[in-house]
């Protein structure tokens, strides 16, 4: 029996996610039901991935493929951007780096391209770790650095994000500042950050935490990661808009996002089921 193309893509995406995160299909059944509950009342949720050289990730992928979540991604590195636009037409890709200014800037391309950044690697610190060689600069590239609020107000972007996913190698604070007042529309933020400055002029985890708390978020969870000889130096931090700043749609979105990110779902508020 021939399956529609979108069903084939969904099944492939689901299997990849299950393999990576050692979850079984009932997890996705529960997620699908949560998604259906959300979509029966509200418009489709959306996610913006910033620093998308590796794509949008296995958690969002199956839901984007079946047109249940709208996705956009930003990737300034030219070859990575071209590869992304050819690989997936369902996602809107933008060839910009997001930041706090509207300028042409320098992008540092490193030995491991996933370590490339708008900031210069701090080799004085990184030389202490074997992984430091990944950060050695191979070349530089001129890129377009843009504020999100400028792009949105000029009509180049069609929605402020419900969910944000950051992987911008030390440039997180500048990206957040560039959202301006449109960060108020965001409910959930996943952000890769560090406890030591692996990039020059980098703002660290506690500065990001303070900024997001001032903008009405709280820290929901953290997950250590990275290859720094067992030292917890890098982590993924998950932030959620405080409950008093959420309406019914916002609470529904938070429940959905927590399930997608496998953080454990809050009890459903009765009014969400009416």
- Report pLDDT digits (tens) over 152-196: 999 998 889 999 999 999 999 999 999 999 999 999 999 999 999
Structure confidence at residue 119 as a pLDDT band (50, 70, 90): very high
> pTM of the predicted model, to two decimals?
0.81
- Any domain includes 66: yes
- Any domain includes 182: yes
Q: Which residue has the higher pLDDT, 18 or 102?
A: 102
- Any domain includes 170: yes
Q: Which residues pair with 164 in a beta bridge?
A: 48, 189
How many residues appear in the chain? 274
Residue 77 has pLDDT above 60, yes or no: yes
Taking a C-beta distance cutoff of 8 angstroms, is the pair 17, 59 a contact?
yes
| Helical packing angle, 25-39 and 248-260, nearest 10° | 160
- Please tell me the total count of domains within the chain: 1
- Rounded CA-CA distance 34/11 in Å is 18
Q: In which residue are the tokens 């990110």 written?
A: 261
Please state the rounded mean pLDDT for residues 36-62: 76
CATH of the domain at 172: 3.40.50.150
SS3 203: coil
- Residue 1 pLDDT: 43
- Any domain includes 114: no
């Amino acid at each position: 029996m021939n399956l529609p193309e979108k069903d084939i893509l969904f099944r492939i995406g689901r299997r990849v996610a299950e393999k990576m995160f050692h979850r079984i299909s009932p997890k996705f059944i529960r997620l699908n039901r949560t998604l259906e509950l959300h979509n029966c009342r509200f418009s489709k949720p959306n996610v913006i991935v910033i620093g998308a050289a590796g794509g949008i990730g296995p958690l969002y992928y199956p839901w984007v493929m079946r047109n249940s979540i709208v996705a956009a991604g930003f990737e300034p590195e030219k070859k990575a951007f071209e590869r992304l636009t050819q690989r997936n037409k369902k996602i809107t890709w933008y060839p910009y780096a997001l930041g706090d200014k509207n300028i042409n800037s320098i992008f540092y391309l490193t030995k491991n391209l996933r370590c490339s950044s708008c900031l210069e690697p701090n080799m004085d610190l990184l030389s202490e770790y074997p992984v430091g060689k990944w950060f050695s600069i191979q070349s530089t590239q001129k890129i377009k650095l843009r504020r999100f609020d400028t792009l949105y107000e000029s009509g180049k972007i069609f929605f402020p994000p419900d969910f944000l996913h950051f992987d911008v190698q030390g440039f997180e604070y500048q990206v957040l500042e560039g959202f301006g007042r449109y960060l108020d529309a965001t409910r959930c933020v996943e952000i890769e950050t560090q406890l030591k400055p692996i990039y020059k002029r980098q703002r660290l985890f506690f500065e990001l935490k303070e900024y997001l708390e001032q903008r009405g978020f709280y820290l929901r969870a953290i997950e250590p990661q990275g290859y720094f000889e067992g030292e917890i130096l890098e982590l993924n931090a998950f932030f959620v808009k405080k409950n008093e700043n959420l309406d019914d749609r916002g609470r529904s979105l938070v429940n959905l996002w927590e399930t997608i990110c496998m953080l454990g779902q809050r009890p459903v508020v009765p009014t969400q089921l009416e």
